Amino acid sequence: MPTSSNDSRIDYVEFVVTDIPRARDFYEKAFGWTMTDYGPEYCAFADGRLEGGFTTIGTVSPGGPLVILYADDLGAMQKSIEAAGGRIVKPIFDFPGGRRFHFVDPDGYELAVWSKV
């Protein structure tokens, strides 16, 4: 059986949150993601390449896999995240291949942003 071009690739990311409007507002402001509301318990997002969702069905469980976003301008992205209400938990640091920082969103999920420069 042939496989599709999306076989074995990350296809969707879902976050359990306590407040969908707050999560939607944070990710719209910080990254410009598009949102689609599906009632009071679910909101889908799209970043132009990957899709995911926010749901209140379940228990908020910060941690798990580290979701890493890319930014052409790391400093500008950090300012955008802070202006949207995110908190930097690991300042910008060098690693083999580039630089990155970690932040937590309003529900406590830790994510990272990296850049080649």
Find the helix packing angle between 74-83 and 20-31, rounded to 10°. 150
**Pairing verdict, β 110-115 and 67-70:** parallel
Q: Nearest Cα to 16, choosing from 57, 51, 47, 46?
A: 57
The residue type at 103: F
Quote the CA–CA distance of 112 and 42 in Å, as a whole number.
24
- Per-residue pLDDT tens digits for 42-100: 999 999 999 999 999 988 887 777 898 999 999 999 999 999 999 999 999 999 889 99
Quote the CA–CA distance of 100 and 75 in Å, as a whole number.
10
44 close to 51: Cβ distance less than 8 angstroms: yes
Q: Is the pTM of this model over 0.85?
A: no
Domains of the chain: 12-115 (3.10.180.10)
